[in-house]
Amino acid sequence: MTDTARFDLYAFWRTSATYRVRVAFNLKGVQPNEINVNLEAGEQRSEAYLGINPMGAIPALIDNAPDQPKTPITQSLAILEFIEETHPTPALLPVDAHGRARVRSLATLLAADTHPLVTPRVKKYLTSVGGFDEAAWRAWQIQWFTTGLQALEQRLAGEPETGTFCHGHTPTLADICLASIVVMTRLFKIELPELPNVQRIMAACEQLDAFARAAPGLQAGAPQA
Amino acid sequence: MTDTARFDLYAFWRTSATYRVRVAFNLKGVQPNEINVNLEAGEQRSEAYLGINPMGAIPALIDNAPDQPKTPITQSLAILEFIEETHPTPALLPVDAHGRARVRSLATLLAADTHPLVTPRVKKYLTSVGGFDEAAWRAWQIQWFTTGLQALEQRLAGEPETGTFCHGHTPTLADICLASIVVMTRLFKIELPELPNVQRIMAACEQLDAFARAAPGLQAGAPQA
């Protein structure tokens, strides 16, 4: 079995968490078999998909290698670490414990402390139960994207480990998370304040084929421009 | 320098993310020097603390070992991985990549997809800008604690890797995150549905001194019972 046939990735063209996994696989030179879960049609709430991930969230990864457990791997951060451990080259984490901690800290500032606040299930709750209209939802999105990205900007500007990318001069899991959030702000047309380091690093990421090919608009199921 | 003097941990008695770090240090036999950041007095928004973590969140960890970088390590998941890498015994992650992925998936289901929705900064926004009264905030808390813990329960009940603890028969990062969320639901007096595996594993955790000693009510700054 080649790596190309090894992984099934339950995915949707638009989502930030799926984007992260696509970029990581691209950087490692692995092409998973993508299975589309149409969030707009509510397919993440189907009985079939809840059997794969009871949280009803994508992505989920299944390893088809014959000698490996078949328990689906869910949560993008867990999938990224799994890809890194099973396909170590090129490395997406530094070798030293402090560097690894910093990369994980920057990554989770976005993937854990920012993204979960602006997911479809939160929108559904706030607009159906919480009394939010479209303008209130938009203000909510702006609040959390801005909070997360401004904190990231301050860290990138102030910490000596910042380089061409978030940590040194090669892309890491932190850059993947940074790009995934910037991509979301573009999809939702969120106006951001000046974020010079974030914008500079996003541009460096987009120079790389692995990031460029993961752009939501290029994926199966995306609306035609 | 002994490990006891090595780490400064910016902490608050009540918070779930600090609890996780306390349990991990306890399991490794390391006692950090705790520095109290009083969230009730808004100290996380002080200029001094924002210089340590621009996100204004605790915990943050500083390594005082003379040859180590002084960049604060923030985000509980990054700190847990750092503790695991620098103090590998007893192991809080399995040895196999699939097992590690499952533990990280269960851990982030709670620490990334559940906890960030019920933090003080979200409460502040919803009650000051979002029009939520106390009852609406309480319904919001119940919604996300229940969603996360029910998804966890289904996975624990259905996946063959579940043992005395979330993954096998020794505690891992997943159990630390499970306990941290259950502890929060108790502090907030959230009534939960029947969660047999979650409750069974919580009881197993509380048999261990490392978890028992981390209970919020036992920490410096906690109100006297």
Nearest CA to CA, how far is A225 from chain B (Å)? 32
pLDDT of amino acid A113: 95
A115's CB contacts (< 8 A; 6+ apart) are A16, A17, A180, A181, A184
Chain B environment of A113 (Cβ under 8 Å): 55, 57, 75, 116
Chain B environment of A166 (Cβ under 8 Å): none
SS (H, E, C) chain B: CCHHHHEEEEECCCCHHHHHHHHHHHHHCCCCEEEECCHHHCHHHCHHHHHHCCCCCCCEEEECCCCCCCCCEECHHHHHHHHHHHCCCCCCCCCCHHHHHHHHHHHHHHHCCCHHHHCHHHHHHHHHCCCCCHHHHHHHHHHHHHHHHHHHHHHHHHCCCCCCCCCCCCCCHHHHHHHHHHHHHHHCCCCCCCCHHHHHHHHHHHCCHHHHCCCHHHCCCCCCC
Query: Does residue B224 have a pLDDT over 90?
Result: no
B113's CB contacts (< 8 A; 6+ apart) are A55, A57, A75, A116, B148
Separation CA B16–CA B39 (nearest Å): 13
pLDDT tens profile A196-217? 999 999 999 999 999 999 999 9
pLDDT of amino acid A224: 80
Strands A60-63 and A73-74: antiparallel
Banded model confidence at residue B225, pLDDT cuts 50, 70, 90: low
Tell me the average confidence (pLDDT) per consecutive run of 10 residues in chain A, 225 residues long.
80 96 98 94 94 94 94 97 98 98 98 96 97 97 98 97 98 98 96 96 98 96 84
Give the residue-averaged pLDDT of B87-114. Answer: 98
A42's CB contacts (< 8 A; 6+ apart) are none
Burial of A65 (0-12, 13-18, 19+ CB in 10 A): middle
Nearest CA to CA, how far is B182 from chain A (Å)? 18
Say yes or no: A81 contacts chain B, CB-CB below 8 A.
Answer: yes
* CATH entry, B9-89, from 3.40.30.10, 3.20.20.70, 3.40.50.1970, 3.40.630.10: 3.40.30.10
Find the CB nearest A108 among B68, B112, B121: B112
Number of helical (H) and strand (E) elements in chain A, helices listed first: 10, 4
Find the CB nearest A77 among B112, B129, B160: B112
Residue B33: beta bridge partners?
Answer: B8
Q: Return residues 156-195 of B near A (CB < 8 Å).
A: 158-161
Find the CB nearest B71 among A77, A97, A159: A159
Say yes or no: A84 contacts chain B, CB-CB below 8 A.
Answer: no
Give the residue-averaged pLDDT of B83-92. Answer: 98
Separation CA A17–CA A56 (nearest Å): 13
Banded model confidence at residue B144, pLDDT cuts 50, 70, 90: very high
Banded model confidence at residue B150, pLDDT cuts 50, 70, 90: very high
Q: Which residue of B has its CA nearest to A104?
A: B78
Give the residue-averaged pLDDT of B141-170. Answer: 98
Do the domains A8-89 and A97-212 sit in the same CATH topology, yes or no?
no
pLDDT of amino acid A5: 82
**Averaged pLDDT of chain A:** 96
pLDDT of amino acid A23: 98
Nearest CA to CA, how far is A177 from chain B (Å)? 13
pLDDT tens profile A170-189? 999 999 999 999 999 999 99
**Substitution target from B58, B62, B92, B104 for chain A, most A beta carbons within 10 A:** B104
Say yes or no: A70 contacts chain B, CB-CB below 8 A.
Answer: no
Chain B environment of A108 (Cβ under 8 Å): 75, 77-78, 112
pLDDT of amino acid A197: 98
**Averaged pLDDT of chain B:** 96
User: Taking the domains of chain A in order of start, what are their residue ranges?
Assistant: 8-89, 97-212
Chain A environment of B55 (Cβ under 8 Å): 109, 113, 147-148, 151
Banded model confidence at residue B2, pLDDT cuts 50, 70, 90: low
CATH 3.40.190.10 fits A8-89, yes or no: no
pLDDT of amino acid A58: 95
Nearest CA to CA, how far is B224 from chain A (Å)? 31
pLDDT of amino acid B5: 82
Q: Return residues 126-145 of B near A (CB < 8 Å).
A: 126, 129-132, 136, 139-140, 143
Chain A environment of B84 (Cβ under 8 Å): none
Say yes or no: A64 contacts chain B, CB-CB below 8 A.
Answer: no
Contact flag A78-B104 (C-beta cutoff 8 Å): yes
pLDDT of amino acid B3: 64
What is the dotted CATH code of the domain comprising A97-212? 1.20.1050.10
Strands B60-63 and B33-36: unpaired
Cβ(B64)–Cβ(B5) below 8 Å: yes
pTM here is 0.97
Cβ(B106)–Cβ(B177) below 8 Å: yes
Helix (H, G, I), strand (E, B) or coil at A11: strand
Q: Which of A49, A3, A51, A52 is nearest to A24 (CA)?
A: A3
